[in-house]
C-alpha cells in the first residue's frame, strides 16, 4: 500500500541533502511529512507548513519512540517511510602514517555502522510496527553502490551491505502483513554531501567511468522513490541508481 494524502510520510535523515529534498517534495504534493534527524536546518529553510521536523538522535530508540508518539500519537497512519539516514565515510582498513601501520579506528567504525545501519533499523522497525497496525505501507531504505566493496570505505560499505540484507529480510517477513520494503543503491548523486565527501579529481574520475558520463540528479532519486512507493508488486528489491558505473 502506498502513501495517500491522509497518511504521513516519514523521512529519516531529513536534515541531509537528499532527505530534506524528499521531505519538501512530498509536502509539496500535499502529504503531511514528519522529518527526523539530529539537525533540521534545511527543513527550516523550506518553510513548508506540511513538514513537521523532530530533532533527535536516530540511534536512540527512546528518542525515536518519543518523537514519533509526540507527532503521530498512537493511531497516526504512516503510508511511506523514506529511510535516508546515513553518513558517507572514507577510511582505509590499513593506512601508513609517519612510517607506521595504522588500522581502521574502531570509534569511527562504530559511528559509521550506527549512522548507516543501526539508525535505519531502529526507525524501520518502529514504523513497520505502526504500519502493520494501521493497514500497511511502504519502506524505502537507502543503500549505496559501495555495498559491493569499495577501496577506502570498509565501514561504509559494510553498513550499506547490511542495509541490503535488512531490506530483503524485512520484505519477506512483512510482505504478508501489507508492508513492502525495498532499497535504492545510489551511485554518485550531484548533491552537496557527495561533493563534500570526494575531491574534484575523484568526482571527475567517477564521472568518466560512468557510462552516462555524469552524476545522478536529485530528481532521478525522487522518481525512483516514487516508483518503489507506488508499484505494489515490487518487494525486497535493491534498485541501483548509478548510471551504470561499477566500482
Instruction: Specify the pairing of strand 238-241 against strand 179-186.
Output: parallel
The C-alpha cell that represents 2 in the structure block: 502506498
The CATH number that applies at residue 154 is 3.40.50.720
- How many residues in total does the chain contain? 247
- Would you say residue 247 lies in a domain? no
What is the DSSP pairing of strand 100-103 with strand 94-97? antiparallel
The band of 48, judged by pLDDT with boundaries at 50, 70 and 90, is: low
Kindly state whether residue 3 falls inside one of the protein's structural domains. Answer: no
Mean pLDDT confidence for 181-187? 97
pLDDT score for 205: 86
Tell me what pLDDT residue 1 has. 47
Concatenate the DSSP letters of all residues of 137-183 into one string.
Answer: EEEEEEEEGGGG--TTBHHHHHHHHHHHHHHHHHHHHHGGGTEEEEE
The residue with cell 582505509 is: 92
Domain assignment present for 236: yes
The count of structural domains within the chain is: 1
The DSSP code for 91 is B
Look at residue 202 in the predicted model and tell me its pLDDT. Answer: 84
Q: What is the three-class DSSP state of 75?
A: coil
* Residue 246 in domain: no
In a domain, 118, yes or no: yes
The predicted structure's pLDDT at residue 199: 82
1 domain residue, yes or no: no
Query: What is the predicted pLDDT for the residue at 4?
Result: 59
Per residue in 86-141, pLDDT tens? 999 999 999 998 889 999 999 999 999 999 999 999 999 999 999 999 999 999 99
156 is catalytic: yes
- pTM listed for this prediction: 0.92
**Catalytic hit among 89, 109, 156, 188:** 156
Instruction: Tell me the percentage of the chain whose pLDDT exceeds 70.
Output: 96
Domain that residue 197 falls in? 8-241
pLDDT band at 62 (very low <50, low <70, confident <90, very high): very high
Amino acid at each position: 500500500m502506498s502513501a495517500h494524502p491522509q497518511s504521513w510520510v516519514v523521512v529519516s535523515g531529513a536534515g541531509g541533502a537528499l532527505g530534506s529534498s524528499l521531505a519538501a517534495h512530498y509536502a509539496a504534493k500535499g502529504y503531511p511529512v514528519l522529518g527526523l534527524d539530529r539537525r533540521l536546518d534545511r527543513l527550516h529553510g523550506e518553510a513548508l507548513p506540511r513538514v513537521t521536523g523532530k530533532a533527535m538522535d536516530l540511534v536512540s530508540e527512546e528518542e525515536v519512540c518519543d518523537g514519533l508518539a509526540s507527532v503521530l500519537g498512537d493511531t497516526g497512519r504512516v503510508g511511506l517511510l523514506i529511510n535516508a539516514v546515513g553518513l558517507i565515510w572514507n577510511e582505509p582498513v590499513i593506512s601508513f602514517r609517519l612510517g607506521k601501520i595504522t588500522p581502521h579506528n574502531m570509534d569511527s567504525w562504530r559511528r559509521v555502522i550506527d549512522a548507516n545501519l543501526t539508525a535505519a533499523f531502529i526507525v524501520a522497525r518502529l514504523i513497520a510496527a505502526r504500519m502493520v497496525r494501521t493497514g500497511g505501507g511502504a519502506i524505502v531504505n537507502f543503500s549505496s553502490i559501495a555495498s559491493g566493496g569499495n577501496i577506502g570505505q570498509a565501514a561504509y560499505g559494510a553498513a550499506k551491505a547490511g542495509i541490503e540484507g535488512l531490506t530483503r529480510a524485512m520484505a519477506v517477513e512483512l510482505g504478508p502483513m501489507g508492508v513492502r520494503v525495498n532499497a535504492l543503491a545510489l551511485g554518485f548523486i550531484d548533491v552537496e554531501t557527495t561533493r563534500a565527501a570526494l575531491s574534484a579529481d575523484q568526482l571527475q574520475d567517477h564521472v568518466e567511468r560512468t557510462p552516462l558520463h555524469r552524476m545522478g540528479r536529485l530528481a532521478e532519486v525522487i522518481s525512483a522513490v516514487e516508483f518503489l512507493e507506488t508499484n505494489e508488486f515490487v518487494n525486497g528489491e535493491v534498485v541501483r541508481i548509478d548510471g551504470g558505473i561499477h566500482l
